[in-house]
Every structure is written in C-alpha cells, then in structure tokens.
Structure 1
Amino acid sequence: MKRADVVIVGAGQAGLALSYCLGQIGIEHAVLERGRIGERWRSQSWRTLRLLTPNWLNALPGSPYEGGDPDGFMDKSAFVASLEAYAGRWQAPVECCVEVLSSRRTGSGFVLDTSAGAWSAKAVVVATGHCDRPMIPFASETRGEPLSLHASQYRSPSELPPGGVLIVGASSSGVQIADELARAGRRVTLSAGKHTRLPRRWRGKDIFFWLCRMGFMAQPLDALANPESARRQPSLQLAGRPDKADVDLATLQALGVELTGRVRGLADREIAFADDLAAQIAAAEAKQARLLAEIDRFAGGERPCRREPVPLPSARPERLSLTDGSIRTIIWATGYARSFGWLEPLALGADGELAHQGGVTSVPGLYALGFRFLRKRDSNFIGGVGADAQAIAAEISLYLGRNGRQAA
C-alpha cells in the first residue's frame, strides 16, 4: 500500500495549485489523476476552444503571467502545455492514469482504492472540478437518430452528420458552438433558456478587468444574499476570440441562427419548446443593464453608449420533428452534475453533492477545491483557484498539526 500525508484527487489547475501550496509549506502529498494532467481540457472540449478569461487573469500560485499577450486568449492546447510545464517546474508528485475508485475513512486517516492499488492518507482533497458528469435531459428519448451528444463530446463541424443542428442551452458553450457551426455554413437552431449576457469589452477594457477591479470576482460566499441561487447562475455568454468580438444571441441571429425557447418536452419523436424566449431575453437584458450601470458608476466620467438589446425574432418554432431529416444532430449544452459515488455517504448532502463549508467537509481530513463558489465567486476560475488553494493548504496544515504531524 502506498502512503502520503495528503492525497489530492485530480491534476487540473485546482489540484496542481494545491500541490504547489502544500509543497511550499513542506507537506508531503501525492496527486492522483485518472487520465493525464489537464485531462478534461484535452478530451472534453471542442478543438478550437479558447479560454474565456484573458491571459493576465489565468495565473496560478507561484506562476504569474509573463507572456507578451496579456489581453489575448490561450487556446486549450497551449493551456494544457502550461499546466504540464507548471507541474514540471515545481516537480508536482503527479501519478497519471490512476483512477480513485473509493475513499473511506478508517481510524485517523483514509484508505483509497485505485486502479493502481491501494493508498493510505491522513487527508484527502477532492479537486475533480465542477464539470464532472455531463447532463443530458431526455437521454432515453433521444437515442438513435438524430445524433444526440453533450457539448463535452462535440469536436468540430466536420465531425457531425450533414444537415441541421439543434443546440439546447445558451450559456458559454452553447453560444460558442452555435457560432462555430453557423460560420461553417450549418443551419442552427438554438434553444435558449436562462442565460447571462455581457459584452466582451466595456469602456475599452475586457469585462473581467471591471469585474476584478470592482471586487466582484473575489466576493466571498457569505457576502451574497442567496449563495445557492448564485451557484445556479448560468455561465457568461462570452468567447475568448482573438478578435475580442461578442458572441451572444444578437450576433448569432446575424449569422442566421434561429432562436427558440427552452425545451419543455420530447414525445413521439418531436421536441417541443416553451413560449418563453421573450421572457428569458428580457431577464438577461435587465441583469446586464444593472451590472453595466454599476461599472459605469464605478468608472465615472462620461457614460458610454447603451448596448443594443437582443432583437426578438418574429417567428419561433414551437416544435421540431426528429424524423423529417431537418435536424440531424442535437447538442445538449446543458451543464454538468457532480459524481461522488466513490466517497463515503457521510461526506454527501441530501442532494448527493459533496457537503462543505468553504471547502472543509464534516468528515475530518476531507476537503474540496475547484468547485463553483467554493469560497468566492471565482473559485472555479483558473485565476481564482490559487487563493482557495492557499486557504485549503492552511486548513490541512492545521489539521495535520493537531493530529500528530507538524508541517515544516
């Protein structure tokens, strides 16, 4: 049986950031990764994906951005290479292709069963990320024709069957995939539910410049009026395009994308949509207007021109047949759920999620990192995970010290 004081599960940006922080305070640990470093970036995203956040915002602990394009957007292959370089620079003790099958507390520590044998640890950190198990509504009803896949399975327009594409979901992934497919000449229908519209740039700066400068991204969880509601907010309709252009419902309509409301049902090989597109657009416009007004008050000076609202299409399909050949592919940009079946039930809440307060669970020695709103708004952002990693490293150091292991 292999041993480590701390086992970190996951070698994405969260797990590597914590490895650096633990190394800095002399805590012996291991990072177990079921694939390769940054595996989800490699295998669960489309080929042309770029980070949503500008390069200057993507620093990890001990590794500030020092490149020549701070306002650019790194593509996924470059980001994976940067994670590998980061792990190599700090000699992170990563063991790749080791899947953790179960973790259970025994006495004063944990036993982890893995695909490469058993491990024991005094503390365990779940750093598997917020995007774990793809969610596909009506999965059983969409088997067979047309092709039905989750956004994490989409790679490029050329790898889809010829013909029309229905995309369900208008958050970050949905609008970016719709944009790519429309530019490739595909007929695209986008089913838009709740979404968050923001400009890529405002007052001559990237939108994240303002969100960070105002303290919005670092806003702690206890400062939010309704943290659970905040966790359920959809991701921003943004894209990391080299031309820094907007990608939203307005730009998609200009490319010929047909908009409709959220999916309300699927029966008899026909998909039905709710008549709520106008309400969803209005809610997104109101939220955007409030935030941009806050930025304007913060920045002062002359207020920029008002951003044009998303035009409401005059005709919207209420139903689409899945048998007449008009739709050959459905892409479900409908988010993710977490899968914690490998953890002991005491660690989970009634909803099956890992129960924690700021990354500290009720199971002594068990911690979480890299989840959305773990401690603050940007907890699952590349540039936000570092502060959380430092805090969790401090918690682990205290825990090990109280349990007979003094950190160096």
Structure 2
Amino acid sequence: MQVTDVIVIGAGQAGLAASRCLGHRGIDHVVLERGHVADRWHNERWSSLRLLTPNWMTRLPGHAYDGDDPNGFMRRDEVAAFLERYARVSNAPVVTDAPVRAVTPSGDGFLVESGAGAFRARAVIVATGACDVPNRPDWSARIATRIEQITTRDYRHPDQIASGGVLVVGASATGLQLAEELRLAGHDVTISVGRHAPTPRRWRGRDVMEWLDASGILSEPRPHTLDEKRALEQPSLQLVGSTTGRDISLDSLVRMNVLPVSRVIGGEDGRVSLSGDLSEQIARADRRRADLLARIDDWISRSGTEAPRDERPRPPRFVAGTKGSLDLDAAGIRTVVWATGFRRSYPWLKLPVLDAAGELRHSGGVTSVPGLYALGLPFMRRRNSTFIDGVGADAQDIVTQVVWHLGAEAMPKVA
C-alpha cells in the first residue's frame, strides 16, 4: 500500500491543475486516472468539437497556450494534446489505468482502492469533473425501440446517424452545434428548446469572451443565494468556436430549415410530450442576453475603453409553435440525440457527502468531511469554474484549504 499526503482523482484539466498547485507547495500526492490523461477529451467528445473560448484563454496554473493562433479555437484533439503536455511539463505524478473503486475513512485520512492498488492519504480531491453520466430522462426508455437514441457522450459524427429525421433535445451550445452539423449532413432536424443563453460571438468589435474576461464577469464569485441544483443547471452560452466570428442561434438554425419546438417533457412509443412554452423560453433568453450585454456596455463605459457601438441583437424572428406533442413517426424522426448535459456519479465514494440525487454536497468544493474536497464542478466557486481558464483559480483555493488541513506551511501561489 502506498502512503501519500493527497490523492487527486481524475487527470483532466481540474486534476492536473490541482497537481500543479500541490507540487508547487511541495505536497506529496498521486493523481489517479481511470484511463489516460485527458481521457474524456479523447473518447467522449464529438469529432468536430471546438472550445467556445479562444486559444489565448487556454490557461492553467504554470502553463498557457503559446502557439501562433491566439484567436483561434482548439479542436478536441488539440485540447487533449495541450493537457497531455501540461502533465509532462508539470511532472504530474499520474497513475493511469487506475479507476477508483472505493474511498473510505481510514484513521485520520482515507483509504483509496483503485485498479492500480490501494493508497492511504490524509486528503482527497475529487476532480472527476461534471460529465460522468449523460442526463437522459428515465422515461426515455419508454420510447419505441425503432427510434434510435444517442447521447452526446457517444455521438462522434453524422455518419453514425441513420438516414431520416433527427430530434435534438437541448439548445445550449452543444445542442445547437449538433443540430447544425446534422442539418448540413442532409438530415431533417427538429430541436427541442428549454432554458438557453443566446450570446453574440462578437460584440462591440471584440470576441465576447474578451469582454467577459476583461470585465471580470467570468471570474465572479458564486452568489451565496445560488443553490447547488441551479448551479449545476446553468446553460452554456449559445456559441460556436469560429475564427470567422459567426453566430449560432435558433434564428440561424431556422434559416437552415431546422424546426424548433418546446421542451420535451415525456414520451412513450412513437410520441413525445412538449411543454408548449417555447415563446416564453425565448423571451426569457432574450432578456438574459440583454442583461449580459448591458453589463458589458456598463463596464466599457466605466473603464473608459474605446469600442464601436453595435446594434442590439434582435429576438428570434420566427413564430414559435405551441403544440403539446410530437409524433416522431409522422415527422419522419428516426433518431433522438440527447444534448441535455450530464450528471455526476460517485458510486465509489463511501462517505456521507452525497444528496438524494447522488450529487456531491459541498460549499465551494469543501465537503463536510474534513480532508475531502471537490474541483471542476459547474459554478463551484466562480462563474468559470468548469472553464479551462477558470479551474486554475479554484485549484489554488482548494489546495490552500488542503494546506490548512494538513497543517503544512503555505507557500506562494502559482503565477
């Protein structure tokens, strides 16, 4: 059995950022990874995926993008290569092919049993991220087997989708991008729209991420009034990583003859039930976008930054349908793509820190069990907690908590 101060579970961006910060403070630790470094980027992302943030925002503690295309957007494999390089230059003590099977109390710390053997540690950082299990509703099992169902974890490219119509459920960034990709591949596409966050790719002469970064909106601390359920349900911005600065929206999809419908709320055999509130969801989303752009404009004014004026984006110009159900067969739909996000899964965490839904109870990544911490969860400490560019600040905070727990002397933070 190996004994160390800290076990980090997961070698994605969160786990590697934690490792870098622990190493900088001289704390002995081991990173356990179920597969290989950046495993999910290699194996659980669709082929054409690009980051929503420009390359210059690809920053982790002690390591940042240094290529010749700072305003470009990394592809899936480029993100994986970036993280693999980060692990190497950080000398991260990663043990691969080491799925964790149990974390249990042991003396003044924890016993961690894994595929690579047992470890004893005084602290554990759970850095498995936010994308464990696709968030597919239980009632989806009642949809007829003649309708193929696939989640974004298993979708790679349009060629794997059967000919015929496709229903994409979910209208955040992923849902819109896949609806567009499938339509361009020749499928008739219907998209089910719930809560969403429309955002222009460029605003007042710059990429919108540049304004969100400069104004501090992305790094805003999580409000004390935001409960965990709402934090986990925050929709991603409706953006696509594109060097041409193009927008993606319900309007752009409608112009491609994609049909928007309201939220799918149930289903059986060849029919799904719809909420009928598409107009209301669009109105709320437009207010959300207006509020965000107003905050950017206010910061531009207060900071004295020169920026051209842009015309306000218009609400979608199509007429939203109100029907209460969708006959999949009559619509020619042969495939449902679930772009409804993910939930977390911790069957190996044998400690009293999970709620009734199986989610980790924590406050800013600090659990009620001394020495047990989390990292990489949505809006965990800041708005950008799940961004590659945001997880580093969270990692520094959590490692400071670990230092206090261990009673070690704190050293300077990583620049």
**1:23-58 deviations in Å (ceiling 9; x for gaps):** 111111110010111111111111010011111111
Of stretches 171-180 and 320-329 in structure 1, the one that deviates more from structure 2 is 320-329
SS at match of 1:304: coil
Describe the shift of the 1:314–1:50 C-alpha distance in structure 2 as closer, same or farther (beyond 3 A): closer
**Residue type of the partner of 2:151?**
H
Match of 2:188 in 1: 187
**Residue type of the partner of 2:5?**
D
Describe the shift of the 1:65–1:326 C-alpha distance in structure 2 as closer, same or farther (beyond 3 A): same
**Residue type of the partner of 1:244?**
G
Q: TM-score, length-normalised on structure 2?
A: 0.93
Residue 109 (structure 1) shift: 1.3
Match of 1:79 in 2: 79
**Residue type of the partner of 1:124?**
V
For 1:255 and 1:316, the matched residues in 2 are separated by: 21
Of stretches 67-76 and 266-275 in structure 1, the one that deviates more from structure 2 is 266-275
Match of 1:216 in 2: 217
Describe the shift of the 1:382–1:314 C-alpha distance in structure 2 as closer, same or farther (beyond 3 A): closer
**1:156-201 deviations in Å (ceiling 9; x for gaps):** 1111111110001101110010011111121100010111111111
For 1:65 and 1:399, the matched residues in 2 are separated by: 33
Match of 1:400 in 2: 406
For 2:238 and 2:67, the matched residues in 1 are separated by: 26
For 2:148 and 2:356, the matched residues in 1 are separated by: 34
Contact residue 150 and residue 337 of structure 2 kept, 8 A: yes
Describe the shift of the 1:164–1:350 C-alpha distance in structure 2 as closer, same or farther (beyond 3 A): closer
**Residue type of the partner of 1:263?**
V
Match of 1:67 in 2: 67
For 1:323 and 1:172, the matched residues in 2 are separated by: 27
For 2:321 and 2:399, the matched residues in 1 are separated by: 54
**1:310-334 deviations in Å (ceiling 9; x for gaps):** 1233656643334458111100111
For 1:266 and 1:349, the matched residues in 2 are separated by: 27
Describe the shift of the 1:234–1:327 C-alpha distance in structure 2 as closer, same or farther (beyond 3 A): same
For 1:62 and 1:17, the matched residues in 2 are separated by: 9
SS at match of 1:349: coil
**Residue type of the partner of 2:345?**
S
For 1:315 and 1:369, the matched residues in 2 are separated by: 41
Count of aligned residue pairs for this structure pair? 404
Match of 1:371 in 2: 377
Contact residue 278 and residue 312 of structure 1 kept, 8 A: no
1:157-236 alignment runs, 5 A limit: 157-222=158-223, 225-228=225-228, 229-236=230-237
For 1:298 and 1:314, the matched residues in 2 are separated by: 34
Contact residue 129 and residue 371 of structure 1 kept, 8 A: yes
For 2:320 and 2:226, the matched residues in 1 are separated by: 36
Unaligned runs of 5+ in 2: 302-306
Describe the shift of the 1:139–1:310 C-alpha distance in structure 2 as closer, same or farther (beyond 3 A): same
For 1:314 and 1:102, the matched residues in 2 are separated by: 49
For 2:321 and 2:227, the matched residues in 1 are separated by: 37
Match of 1:347 in 2: 353
**1:254-288 deviations in Å (ceiling 9; x for gaps):** 11101111112212421122211111111101111
For 1:6 and 1:396, the matched residues in 2 are separated by: 8
SS at match of 1:389: helix
Contact residue 169 and residue 192 of structure 1 kept, 8 A: yes
Match of 2:250 in 1: 249
Q: TM-score, length-normalised on structure 1?
A: 0.94
For 1:197 and 1:281, the matched residues in 2 are separated by: 9
Describe the shift of the 1:199–1:9 C-alpha distance in structure 2 as closer, same or farther (beyond 3 A): same
- Aligned identity (percent) is 46
Match of 2:304 in 1: none
Unaligned runs of 5+ in 1: none
**Residue type of the partner of 2:205?**
G
1:313-324 alignment runs, 5 A limit: 313=319, 315=321, 318-323=324-329
